[in-house]
Every structure is written in structure tokens, then in C-alpha cells.
Amino acid sequence: MKRIATLICATTLGLMANIATAQPNITDLSFTDPWIRGSVPGQKNGAGYLIIDNKSGQPAAMVSANSDRADRIELHTIVREDGVAKMREVQEIPVPANGSVTLQPGGYHVMFIGLTQPFKEGESIPVKLNFSDGRSAEVTFTVKAPTYMGGGGMQGHGHGGHGMMKGN
């Protein structure tokens, strides 16, 4: 009997170790300079940008996002076809282990489709970003002017800590 108990215990420990490996802490991810371009009159869609840093040794991937300010959100990139830049939906935006990904004009972005109301400069927009391992983070985006093009070169890329993180 004693031997069986030991076996079960070892199995349980093994399972726990697996779970710990599969679920890196949400605090391994940080979100810098989240912003959305302000809407011009009549605009139906909008785009959001930010830098996602991954301090863990395991790759991460953003797979979806939610906000009550749009009918739905898609993840987009921009590809060149015959010299024309076109938006293309992607299934995920990868964040390399011990690395970062920058969503910026001309590249990856969070696409708000069917705005429920226009984005006005200065507004704060909470957006839930969801990752492939089930984690999600609530990040507050700041609406910039319709002409704004980004943080200007990304030098210094300080960690402002705008994002509120929520484990899942």
C-alpha cells in the first residue's frame, strides 16, 4: 500500500511541474506606448499599436483582442504586393522569447472593425489582449491625433507601464 501512495504522489508532482512550465507568468509580458490613431469623420475602422516585451525564455503569441468600441478586432500586418501595400489578417502576432515585437504604422497592428463610436484624441481605450496560452492582459490605449505616426524612432523605448495586467 505504501508503495502505491508514493507512486501517486510522484505522478501528482510530475503533473504540477508540467502545468508550471506551460503557464509562464503574465508579468513576463510588458506593454509599452499603446496608442490608437484618432478617427477622421466617417471612418469605420481604426488601428492600434504598441510594443510587447517578453522577458521569459518561452515565445508568446497574441492571438486575439477584445474591445467594446468595435464590432470586432482583427490582427493585421501589411504586405507589399506588386508595389502596393495591403493589409492582411494574421492568425497571431509572435513575441519571441527574451525579445519584443513592435506594432507600428506600416506593420503589425490591432484592427478595430466597425467602430461603435469614433476615437477622439485624448481618450483612454481599454483593450483586452489574448495570448495563445490562455493568458490575457487589459491594456489601456491612448488615442492620438489622426495625423500621429508613432513614437519617433523608438529610441529609448522606455517601459512606461501603461498596461494593467490581469492573470487568467
x/- contact string, 62-81, with Cu ion (CB under 5 A)?
Answer: --------------x-----
Total interface residues for Cu ion by CB under 5 A = 3
x/- contact string, 95-124, with Cu ion (CB under 5 A)?
Answer: ----------------x-------------
| All residues at 6 or more sequence positions from 47 whose CB lies less than 8 Å from its CB, including other chains | 36, 37, 76, 105, 109, 110, 111, 112
Q: Nine-digit cell at 155?
A: 529610441
CA–CA separation, 62 vs 48, rounded Å? 14
Nearest distance, CB of residue 107 and Cu ion, angstroms: 10
Nearest distance, CB of residue 152 and Cu ion, angstroms: 22
Q: Nine-digit cell at 156?
A: 529609448
Our finding on whether 87 is near Cu ion (CB under 5 A) is yes
